[in-house]
Structure 1
C-alpha cells in the first residue's frame, strides 16, 4: 500500500514493481527497474528515501528516513530479507545480506558487502569495497571491524557515537531517558494519524 504522509506521496517509476503487501509511506522515490517485495516497509518520517535504478528490497526489509537523516540507496543494490536501513547513505552495487542493520548517518561505499546479521553503526563510514563479515560490527570513522565477542570494544566505540544524543537529541545520562525518548518519539510518530492511502 502507498500512503501520503506529511503532505508527500510516494513517486514510483512505472518500470518498478512494488508488491501489494509492501508499505510505501511519504516522500519515497523508487527508481526504474526496482523491485520491492512482500512485507517490505519504506517509511519517510520527515525526509526523503531514494532508491536508485534496479535496486531490490527483499521481503520484510525496513527502510526508514527520519526528519534529520534521509536515506539514499544507490543503483543495483540489494537489501536482503529482514534487513534494516535507517537514515543512511548506501552506494551503488552494495549487498546488504539478510538481517543486516545499518544505522543513522552511516555511509556504505560502492560495491561493499555487509554480510548476514552484521551491523554498521551510526556515523560509521565503510570505504568502497569493504566487507563486514557475518555477525560482525562495523563502527566509526576511521572504520573498525569488530567480531561480536569483542563486546567491551564495541560498546566503548558505540558509547562515543552517542546513539540517544545523535538520533533522539537526548543525553544518555538523563534519569528518565526512556520516558522522554518514548514520549518525544511517540509525538513524532503520531503524525501518521492523518496519513491517507493513495492506492
Structure 2
C-alpha cells in the first residue's frame, strides 16, 4: 500500500513493480524497473528516499529515512530479505545480503558487498569495492571491518560515533536516557496518525 505522510505521497515509476503487501510511505521516489517485494517497508520519516534504476528490495526489508539522514539507493543495487537501512547513502551495484543492517549517516560506495547478517554502523564509510564478511561489523571513517568477537574494539569505535547524540539528539549520560528517547521518538512517530492511503 502507498501512504501520504506529512503531505507527501510516494512517486513510483510506471515500470516499477510494488507488491500488494509492501508499504511505501511519504516522500519516496521509486525509479524505473525497480522491484519491491512482499512485506517490504519503505518509510520516509521526514526525509526523502530515492531508489534508482533496477533496485530490488526483497521480502520484509526495511528502508527508513529521517529528517537529518535521507536515503539514496543507487542503480542495480539489491537489498536482501530482512535487511534494514536507516538514513544511509548506498551506491550503484551494491549487494546487501539477507539480514544486513546499515545505520544512519553511513555511506556505502559502488560495488560493495555486505554479506549475511553483517552491519555497517553509524556514520561509517565503506569505500568502493569493499566487502563486509558474514556477521562482521564495519565501523568508522576510515572504516575498520571487524568480527563480532571483537566487541570491545567495536564498542570503543561506536562510542566516538555517538549513536544517541547523532540519531536522537540526546547525551548518552542522561540519567533517564530511554525515557527521553522513547518519548521524543514516540512523538515523531505519532505523526503517522494523519497518514492517508493513496492510489498508485
1:38-77 equivalence runs, <5 A: 38-77=38-77
Residue aligning to 1:120: 120
C-alpha deviation, 1:29, in angstroms: 0.1
Give the match for residue 91 of structure 2.
91
State the Cα distance separating 1:49 from its structure 2 match: 0.3
Structure 1 residue runs of 5 or longer lacking an equivalent are none
Cα deviations across residues 38-78 of structure 1 (Å, max 9, x unaligned)? 00000000010000000000000000001110000000000
1:189 aligns with 2:189: yes
State the 1:28 CA deviation: 0.1
**Structure 2 unaligned blocks of 5 or more:** none
Partner of 2:101: 101
Deviation of 1:172 (Å): 0.3
* TM-score between the two structures when normalised by the length of structure 2: 0.99
The match for 1:19 is 19
Q: Distance in 1 between matches of 2:128 and 2:7?
A: 36
Instruction: Look up the SS of the partner of 1:185 in the other structure.
Output: helix
The structural deviation recorded for 1:164 is 0.2
Are 2:24 and 1:37 aligned?
no
- Note the C-alpha offset of 1:156: 0.5
* Aligned counterparts of 1:152 and 1:49: Cα–Cα separation in 2: 34
Distance, in Å, in 2 between the alignment partners of 1:67 and 1:190 is: 15
Following superposition, the deviation at residue 149 of structure 1 comes to 0.4
Distance 1:54 1:151 in 2: 36
Distance in 2 between residues matched to 1:189 and 1:148, nearest whole Å: 31
| In structure 2, C-alpha distance between the alignment counterparts of 1:190 and 1:148, rounded to whole Å | 35
Give the secondary-structure state (helix, strand or coil) at the position aligned to 2:72: strand
Is 1:180 paired with 2:177?
Answer: no
**Cα deviation digits, residues 99-153 of structure 1 (max 9, x gap):** 0000000000100000000000010000000000000000000010000100100
**Cα RMSD (Å) of the superposition?**
0.4
The separation in 2 between residues aligned to 1:149 and 1:68, in whole angstroms, is: 32
- How far, CA to CA, are the matches of 2:151 and 2:29 in structure 1? 38
